[in-house]
Amino acid sequence: MATHTRELSSTEAATGRTAVRVRGLNRSFSEAGGVLDGLDLDIAAGEFVALIGRSGSGKSTLLRALAGLDRDVAGHGEITVPSQVSVVFQDSRLLPWRRVLDNVLLGLRSRGAAVRGREALAEVGLAGRERAWPHELSGGEQQRAALARSLVREPQLLLADEPFGALDALTRIRMHVLLKRLCAEHRPAVLLVTHDVDEAIVLADRVIVLDAGAVSSDIRVDAWVRPGGRRSQADPQFAALRTRLLAELGVEDDHDPALADRRKEPA
């Protein structure tokens, strides 16, 4: 990792244990007002952060800025990210005219890439499907292939924008287990944009809430849910955190007694 201090280079490395550092990031698309308004954010190396927020709160805008996909954000703040960043979207974005392994290897020229690509496909449970066409895979399998394509690049930062949003509930749970295992093994920093509060709690070390263009809450999940334990929706702490996060998103659940106590819980 290398240091850089000048404005906005989304391709340069962050320092030491910090994978992502954002300071004073502004982004607007019209005169009416900013989508991101002086946003600050730090993500440590190997840390898994989930980003939630109301529709239109700027989650994808932030992710695109970090991914270097928003050229017009230059000069509107300071962003530092690692040199190796992978992005996964809601749709797999596999090229339909390339076989699965060729999609995974796209743009990779290094020696041994094919071997690593096969290994990555095996890691996501797609061994034997290397020569399949994308349309021959299910939606879940396509997202697995997209994860393999990311992993083979050994990212220090994985950016994921609703990667499981289009999957059925069961496949989504399987993908949670898979992503958690892959992250434990490869230890990238992760920023996961999701609408699913439970998904955020199950997967993340921290949940960040975006509101009015800035971080409105930054919550360590282990401060709520048993540290290191299996995160179960049946756990009262899990339910309390869910209730708090839903309330921050403007969804009040009058039937949940935890809601009344949410301001007393650890932040």
Ligand X SMILES: Nc1ncnc2c1ncn2[C@@H]1O[C@H](COP(=O)(O)OP(=O)(O)OP(=O)(O)O)[C@@H](O)[C@H]1O
Q: Which residues bind ligand X (CB under 6 A)?
A: 29, 35, 53, 55-61
Between residues 182 and 245, which has the closer beta carbon with respect to ligand X? 245
Q: How far is CA 149 from CA 24, 25, 47, 179, 182, in A?
A: 32, 29, 21, 13, 13
Between residues 33 and 128, which has the closer beta carbon with respect to ligand X? 33
Secondary structure of 243-266 in HEC code, one letter for each residue: HHHHHHCCCCCCCCHHHHHHHHCC
Between residues 84 and 90, which has the closer beta carbon with respect to ligand X? 90
Supply the minimum distance, in Å, between the C-beta of residue 239 and ligand X.
Answer: 24
Between residues 27 and 244, which has the closer beta carbon with respect to ligand X? 27
Dist. CA 60–CA 42, nearest whole Å: 17
Dist. CA 50–CA 55, nearest whole Å: 15
Q: How far is CA 24 from CA 41, 42, 224, in A?
A: 9, 12, 29
Dist. CA 86–CA 30, nearest whole Å: 29
Cross-strand pairs, 52 = 209
Supply the minimum distance, in Å, between the C-beta of residue 190 and ligand X.
Answer: 17
Supply the minimum distance, in Å, between the C-beta of residue 5 and ligand X.
Answer: 27
Between residues 86 and 194, which has the closer beta carbon with respect to ligand X? 194
Supply the minimum distance, in Å, between the C-beta of residue 35 and ligand X.
Answer: 4
Supply the minimum distance, in Å, between the C-beta of residue 232 and ligand X.
Answer: 27
Strands (E), the chain: 18-30, 33-44, 48-53, 78-80, 85-88, 157-161, 189-193, 206-211, 214-220
Between residues 27 and 172, which has the closer beta carbon with respect to ligand X? 27
Which amino acid appears at position 227 of this protein?
A: P
Cross-strand pairs, 44 = 18
Supply the minimum distance, in Å, between the C-beta of residue 47 and ligand X.
Answer: 21
Supply the minimum distance, in Å, between the C-beta of residue 136 and ligand X.
Answer: 29
Between residues 56 and 227, which has the closer beta carbon with respect to ligand X? 56
Cross-strand pairs, 93 = none
Which residues, at least 6 apart from 113, have a Cβ–Cβ distance to it below 8 Å? 105, 152
